Chain A
Amino acid sequence: MSTAFPKAAKVALGMPQLRSNLAHATGTIRGKRAKVVGELDDWERLRDTAAAIKADVQHRMPELAVAFERNATAAGATVHWARDGAEANRIAARITRDAGAEEVVKVKSMATQEIELNEHFAAEGLSAWETDLAELIVQLADDRPSHILVPAIHYNRTEIRDIFRGRMADAPKGLTDDPAALAEAARLHLRRRFLSAKVAVSGANFAVAETGSLVVVESEGNGRMCLTMPETLISIVGVEKLLPRYEDLEVFMQLLPRSSTGERMNPYTSVWTGATEGDGPKDVHIILLDNGRTEVLADEVGRQALSCIRCSACLNVCPVYERTGGHAYGHVYPGPIGAILAPQLEPGRHDDLPYASSLCGACYEVCPVKIDIPEVLVHLRQQGPHGAGEKAAMGAAEAVMARPALWRAALAAARFLSRPWRGRGFVRRLPWPASKWTVSRDMPVPPKESFRDWWKERER
């Protein structure tokens, strides 16, 4: 039984700068998201459709994976299959060597973080350069990402300037902490690398079975650089990223940008299908990755975690995430989605994570694909080793909430309510104080109060 979370959470809670950076950033993004979501009068219908499409994908995964492979191959891509991260890394390293390269430029991708491609490449004497600004910051700082979308969310602008000054050899003299100046420094630093790279590695946000196309959603143009300029492109794609039809993009491309960066549309979206004569990479490879996903698929309740489109909205509304930061979760997927995905992808290694939650339900309310995260949390708690699990939970509760007695009551209530005959969808309307959150949705924590004060207030 792992007790990593409560320990790490306690450490994080002792770091006021980290907490203030996180509170500031997640507060900003919650406001932006609420505004652009509010502009669509069919938001709930879009969520219903997206959830149903993803459920359909899960039920038809073998058929859709084969269709994707057939169509991508017909368009000139080479499709590989990888049972686990090690196999995917080996294939990617081999393709890189075969292309006569010793380094790759990378588009930000959760899948390659999950399989630790950079570390594997380093061990093989190959270099993998991150090109997303936040990933670059984290790589320069020799740190680990702490957020799905903004891996450097735990740094403020002054800390970023210091990292650039200290670690980026070609950082401009007199670099200030103005975000525009910092972005310019990253542009200069990476430009030559982009224009001369032979091989790029990407993930994909979606893989369209009907056409064999991949989709990458980004902001900076580093994705376009990687997907367009090199001769060889390697995309590592979890099998859960499949969508049946091209038309499905009209649903997901409304939901994803609004849920992740709070924009009506992200600056750049690339859709490509195999190789195109005279346009972009000639040698296009796709590695379809399992790495535990088929295990998750086998769990009827847990499999909804495979619907995740990695928007990070659930992190931004989570009071536990906001207090502890992403590192405390000890996995590349932090926050509420991490709490249900990590223990399923790596069984036995993250049993404490399903307790890193107050079951408030805010994550479910914002999730664009309607993953019932509280339901899966309770389900995983029931499966985990009980006594030790609860002890870990108490540790987490104490650190995070400082109200162990209430926590215990909450757990008992949650377990009671989730008894099988109650059926799906009930847990999120908990009768205890946190039910407030399900009502106020986007602003679960009044900004001027600490969680603890707020919590006490609710008790009165």
Chain B
Amino acid sequence: MNAREEILERMRRALDGAGPAPEPPREYRRSLDADVDVVELLIDRLVDYKAYVHHGIASIPEALGEARRVVVPADLPAEWRLGEAEFVEDEALTTADLDGADAVLTGCAAAVAVSGTIMLDAGAAQGRRAITLVPDHHVVVVRRDQITGHLAEALPRLDPTGPQTWISGPSATSDIELQRVEGVHGPRRLDVVILADSALTHRQSCSSS
């Protein structure tokens, strides 16, 4: 018997006579209370985990700060490429290119307010995983309609089989005396630009139905 057959056989033998387990109850929350302002909550939670928050497209240069060479996915909206920085589109950039960049500017797929989590799934305006990992500074644009209150609302918005990265604050470690210290291998600085104008709020009410 090969390993596969043998392991499956061991499992079946171990379960011999065991009936099916009961269907799991699912009585937990799937959303926040209706009166919660999810934008405000997201901002609160982002700041709590040491991310910087900005408002509106016009604040993108401020979020990029001193960065001169900024990597962007090829499909990043042109209207986000603001300021003095040089925007370098990721056309198969090498690791060294990425390592030499000052920052990366992307969009996202969804955000979860309650945990301050930004989610990427390699979809529109996000690029491949390496570009949001190697540069030391990540600026991510979140549209109002991408913000959900609860994790259970965000998961269905992601491509379940696309490579997903969920980001909650800059990289950190709690390995020394269980104290959280920001900044290890991932980007040490995370800036979040929230686009919450009324036109987009309107679009949200259509798309989330």
Footprint of B on A, CB under 8 Å? 21, 24-25, 28-29, 32, 40-42, 45-46, 48-49, 52-53, 55-56, 58-62, 65-66, 75, 80-83, 87, 131-134, 137, 150, 152-153, 156-157, 160, 179-180, 182-184, 186-187, 190-191, 194-195, 211-213, 219-222, 224-225, 227-229, 239, 246-247, 249-251, 253-254, 257, 261, 263-274, 276, 278-280, 288, 290, 294-295, 297-298, 300, 303
Contact = CB atoms under 8 A, between A and B. Distances in A.
Contacts of A80: 3
A59 B166 contact: no
A279 B171 contact: no
A93 B183 CA distance: 32
Contact of B163 (A61, A263, A276): A276
Interface string B121-137: 01000001110011000
9 contacts: A32-B178, A150-B174, A150-B175, A221-B184, A270-B166, A272-B164, A279-B130, A294-B13, A303-B14
B178 to A, nearest CB: 5
A157 B177 contact: yes
A290 B10 contact: yes
B116 A265 contact: yes
B10 A294 contact: yes
Given A222-B184, A268-B165, A298 B176 contact: no
Contact of A59 (B21, B130, B169): B21
B186 interface: yes
B192 to A, nearest CB: 14
A267 B162 CA distance: 19
B178 A276 contact: no
Interface of B: 2-4, 6-8, 10-15, 18-30, 45, 49, 95-96, 99, 112, 114-117, 122, 128-130, 133-134, 151-152, 155, 160-187
Contacts of A52: 21-25
Contacts of A87: 3
A265 B166 contact: yes
Nearest to B18: A59
A394 B181 CA distance: 42
A227 B185 CA distance: 13
A253 to B, nearest CB: 6
A301 to B, nearest CB: 12
B185 A179 contact: no
B143 to A, nearest CB: 20
Nearest to B33: A41
B168 A267 contact: yes
Contact of A62 (B8, B167, B180): B8
A183 B14 contact: no
A55 B173 CA distance: 32
Given A55-B21, A187-B185, A221 B176 contact: no
B178 A29 contact: yes
A249 B138 CA distance: 26
A183 B183 contact: yes
Contacts of B161: 75, 211-213, 273-274
A222 B141 CA distance: 24
Contacts of A249: 155
Given A268-B168, A270-B129, A280-B130, 13 more contacts: A45-B29, A48-B25, A75-B161, A153-B178, A219-B173, A224-B129, A261-B174, A264-B116, A265-B168, A268-B165, A270-B166, A295-B14, A298-B15
Contacts of A220: 171-173, 175, 184-186
Contacts of B114: 264
A250 B175 CA distance: 26
Nearest to B186: A221
Contact of B15 (A32, A59, A221, A273): A59
B125 to A, nearest CB: 15
A222 B185 contact: yes
Nearest to B153: A250
A278 to B, nearest CB: 6
Contact of B168 (A32, A186, A263): A263
Contacts of A251: 28
Nearest to B158: A271
A160 B128 CA distance: 36
Contacts of B186: 220-221, 224-225, 267-268
A201 B88 CA distance: 32
Contacts of A212: 161
